[in-house]
Structure 1
Amino acid sequence: MLMGLPIPILQHRNFLTGKHSLISRPPTYKSLIPIMISPFTQTLGLALFSLILFNAQSLSKKTLILNDILLDKNPDFCAITETWLKHTDTALINQLPIQTYDIFSIPRKKKRGGGILLAAKKELKITQCPINSPSKIETGLFKSDSLQILLIYAPPGLLESDASPILELTTTYLNLEHPAIILGDFNLHVDDPILSTNCESFLTAMSAIGFKQIINKPTHRAGHTLDLIFVNSNISQSTTPKCQPVPWSDHTVISSAFSLEQISKKPVPQPEFIYRKSCTSEELHNHLGPELPLIDTSSPNSALHSWSKITETAANNLCPLATKKLDHNTSKRQPWFKEELQKLKHSLRQKESKWQKTPTQTSLSAYKLALHQYKRDQQSVIMIKEFEKSLEGTEAKHPKAKIKTQAARVLTSTPKASDYRASQEED
């Protein structure tokens, strides 16, 4: 108490240390300016987004810590390896901020441990894509309209012996021309002074297909760089990755921001085809007549070569090649198969079926009458549509055209199914 006035005490929990710290005086909010931060903020043609990566070493008792990370740091993406979650741990997933984030949890199928998870802002509209994971490697593929993410967890020592499965996943499931991120716990010692043969060949191959490894600091308590992030040329770093040690895991929490180049959509090429123009048989006969005596008949091959050359010359002169492009922007016609015609066709099929079961003269006459009426009504509907299309835009200027249109509808109106009630009663 100070002069009889209570002093508010604020308690804040640090998500890195896990401890609570006391603030003896409240913060002054009057001097702050609210800034709305939206995911993929557009700046000069670039999309900015933030990302967090860490190995949780079991999330079963650390969902509150993950909550603090998502609420305090507000990343666009949070990738986690070794979640140790099961398919039945839906209650733990519901403890996360599911109103703000889409949570994609991929538990290990059989043995205990493992598991990966990706939390992505709902505004980014990330979807999980099917992928065939290599043996003993846990992977998750996630895509949006502008980004691809491949999350990986490999057990210790697996990629040191053979890292080719990661290259196969990259070239099979990722579009290398679009922005892509490959991240996770690779358990690959890229920090060793002398790299192993497999590790060196893996990094060289990733660089050859356009991916760069951006983590250059230790990500494990033992001083090794095991958690890696690969980005391709369409993604650039906005900030240097930070590796923050935490007391609840042997791995560090990696945070970084990136800028995403907006790829302009390439115009779809207009389809085209090549054809020959037609000519009459008389023109072809007149052109080939004088050339026939010039065919070399000294041998079958010479005769075939001469005939092919003469006919090719005639085709190029009389029927030259032409190219035609298909226009997809043409307006579609209005559908003419209306409900009335559908009922009439159903009635026609009934009469046809009855005539096939009982082939009598009465059933045959009824079927022919229904077929004639259906064809007449079908042609009337098509004529009305063509007539209305030809008068489009003229009704406002010429009122007589509108009157003619209405008259045409009355004169050639499609009969309803009730008009054939008499013919149906006869059957």
Structure 2
Amino acid sequence: MALLNTRSLVNKSFVVNDFFLASRLDVLFLTETWIRPGESSSFSELLPLDCAFFNSPRTAGRGGGLASVFRSKFRVRQLPPALHSSFEVQLLELSGSSRTLCAVVYRPPKRNKDFIREFADLLGIIFLSYDRVLICGDFNIHICCEEDLLAKDFLALIDSFNITQWVRKSTHIKGHMLDLVLSYGLDICITDINDAGISDHFPVIFDVQSCNMELNSEGPPSLSRPINSEAVALFSAAFANSFCYEDISNAPLSVDGVVNSFISICTSILDTVAPVKIRRRKTSRQPWLNESILALRRECRRAERRWKKDQLQVSLDILHMSRSKFQKAAKMAKTSFLSNIIANNSHNPRVLFKIFNSVVNPCSDVSMGASPALCEKFLNFWI
């Protein structure tokens, strides 16, 4: 898992996609997406092929916004939003051996006297229903400053709920710990906090060691036998050596016994010359990713490794430039790819609808789960 303040996902969608894949993440929590209600095209650029997302944009004003990206194999549902004046929150329930509540939080930097009270109310509601809680986000609280009054009140609040705060390093270029990972009933291991050149916040990568997430059913595995000319020749030779008609005809067997013996011999030979194999699912590459885009992505990763090694300002500047160059080139490549498809299929409404739907609805349907609020919403729609 990872937590990242993107400070505008629109301008970094392909960069965040590369970060997700390079870090081999299963879940990514995003703050400050700056995506307005009704917009989702940035997620068509961000999402890998086997992922889904939940988006919680700020309903009024500019900035803010929360999102969560996760592998489609996990069972995750979004809970009804909790509205607070001093911070934004996205609530997710992760199914597993025991339900886990995940809260993604963004608190604007402007001081609000109601934050401690409202956050305490949220914790009280959460802890009534869940024994395992993960809270992460950009709190904009300088908890590293011992004299900060808000930090003191916040640390006292989470201590009163027996919540553990796991981040111990700076998560911002100015040296403050603003992005936090909190948990109750879960063991967290922070694996990396370093400047990735994506924004002025550092991504926080961590493992949840005691959260067994339930997987969606993917159906039975695909099995196959590699039958080719060589397997046929081997089968014929083995069958000739192991099957004797006279032995079968002289044996005191019924018709069913002879058939079963024949099937047993054939199956044994097949398992030897052409054993059953599980057909692995192939991961296809995005069709618009040409060689020039892949070369730019490799350049970004080389620049990131160089920056992590020497920590020089010039290396960081090169990383930022390579990230920006990759983002612009990838966006142009995808735009050109989709434009060509639309131009070549201008009289094919099925293809046009499919392309349009892939942009405005970039992931497969995610089960919303049953809840009284959802039932009430469904009822009101038809009344």
- Identify the residue that residue 75 of structure 1 maps to in structure 2: 25
For residues 224 and 131 of structure 1, what CA distance do their matches in structure 2 show?
29
For residues 120 and 130 of structure 2, what CA distance do their matches in structure 1 show?
16
- Identify the residue that residue 143 of structure 2 maps to in structure 1: 190
For residues 57 and 106 of structure 1, what CA distance do their matches in structure 2 show?
15
For residues 76 and 125 of structure 1, what CA distance do their matches in structure 2 show?
12
Q: What letter is aligned with 1:235? A: L
Cα shift readout 1:87-108 (whole Å, capped 9, x = no counterpart):
2322211223353222111111
Please state which structure has a larger fraction of its residues in helix: 2
For residues 123 and 70 of structure 1, what CA distance do their matches in structure 2 show?
16
Cα shift readout 1:78-130 (whole Å, capped 9, x = no counterpart):
01110011223222112233532221111111111111111122222111100
Task: Verify the 8 A CA contact 1:215 1:241 in the aligned structure 2.
Answer: no
For residues 211 and 217 of structure 1, what CA distance do their matches in structure 2 show?
18
Larger deviation: 83-92 or 213-222?
83-92
How far did residue 224 of structure 1 move?
A: 0.7
For residues 126 and 69 of structure 2, what CA distance do their matches in structure 1 show?
21
- Identify the residue that residue 205 of structure 2 maps to in structure 1: 255
Task: Verify the 8 A CA contact 2:104 2:136 in the aligned structure 1.
Answer: yes
Q: Secondary structure at the match of 2:121?
A: helix
For residues 162 and 143 of structure 1, what CA distance do their matches in structure 2 show?
23
Q: TM-score, normalised by structure 1?
A: 0.46
Task: Verify the 8 A CA contact 1:236 1:259 in the aligned structure 2.
Answer: yes
Which of 1 and 2 has higher RCO (CA within 8 Å, sep 6+)? 2
1:112 aligns to 2:65 (yes or no): no
How far did residue 246 of structure 1 move?
A: 2.8
Task: Verify the 8 A CA contact 2:190 2:204 in the aligned structure 1.
Answer: no
- Identify the residue that residue 178 of structure 1 maps to in structure 2: 131
Task: Verify the 8 A CA contact 1:134 1:165 in the aligned structure 2.
Answer: yes
Task: Verify the 8 A CA contact 2:17 2:48 in the aligned structure 1.
Answer: no
Task: Verify the 8 A CA contact 2:101 2:130 in the aligned structure 1.
Answer: no
Q: What letter is aligned with 1:207? A: D
Q: Secondary structure at the match of 1:111?
A: coil
Cα shift readout 1:281-322 (whole Å, capped 9, x = no counterpart):
xxxxxxxxxxxxxxxxxxxxxxxxxxxxxxxxxxxxxxxxxx
Task: Verify the 8 A CA contact 1:86 1:108 in the aligned structure 2.
Answer: yes
For residues 167 and 114 of structure 2, what CA distance do their matches in structure 1 show?
22
How far did residue 242 of structure 1 move?
A: 1.8
1:221 aligns to 2:173 (yes or no): yes
1:143 to 93, 112, 130: 93
- Identify the residue that residue 164 of structure 2 maps to in structure 1: 212
Cα shift readout 1:207-263 (whole Å, capped 9, x = no counterpart):
22121111111111111111111011x2113x3342111333111011011211569
Q: TM-score, normalised by structure 2?
A: 0.52
- Identify the residue that residue 43 of structure 2 maps to in structure 1: 93
Structure-to-structure mapping, 1:270-349, within 5 angstroms: none
How far did residue 159 of structure 1 move?
A: 5.5
Structure 1 unmatched runs, 5+? 1-50, 264-427
How far did residue 187 of structure 1 move?
A: 0.4
1:126 to 48, 57, 76: 76
Q: Secondary structure at the match of 1:173?
A: helix
- Identify the residue that residue 415 of structure 1 maps to in structure 2: none
For residues 258 and 108 of structure 1, what CA distance do their matches in structure 2 show?
28
1:57 aligns to 2:7 (yes or no): yes
Q: Secondary structure at the match of 1:167?
A: helix
1:169 to 111, 119, 122: 122
For residues 112 and 165 of structure 2, what CA distance do their matches in structure 1 show?
16
For residues 98 and 252 of structure 1, what CA distance do their matches in structure 2 show?
22
How far did residue 144 of structure 1 move?
A: 2.1
Structure-to-structure mapping, 1:23-42, within 5 angstroms: none
Root-mean-square deviation (CA, aligned residues, Å) is: 2.1
1:154 aligns to 2:104 (yes or no): no
Structure-to-structure mapping, 1:407-418, within 5 angstroms: none
For residues 71 and 128 of structure 2, what CA distance do their matches in structure 1 show?
22
Q: Secondary structure at the match of 1:119?
A: strand
> Equivalent pairs: percent with the same residue?
24
Cα shift readout 1:257-283 (whole Å, capped 9, x = no counterpart):
1211569xxxxxxxxxxxxxxxxxxxx
For residues 55 and 212 of structure 2, what CA distance do their matches in structure 1 show?
29
Structure 2 unmatched runs, 5+? 214-383
* Structure whose alpha-carbon radius of gyration is higher: 1
Task: Verify the 8 A CA contact 1:160 1:199 in the aligned structure 2.
Answer: no
Q: Secondary structure at the match of 2:153?
A: helix
Q: Secondary structure at the match of 1:260?
A: coil
For residues 222 and 160 of structure 1, what CA distance do their matches in structure 2 show?
25
Q: Secondary structure at the match of 1:163?
A: helix
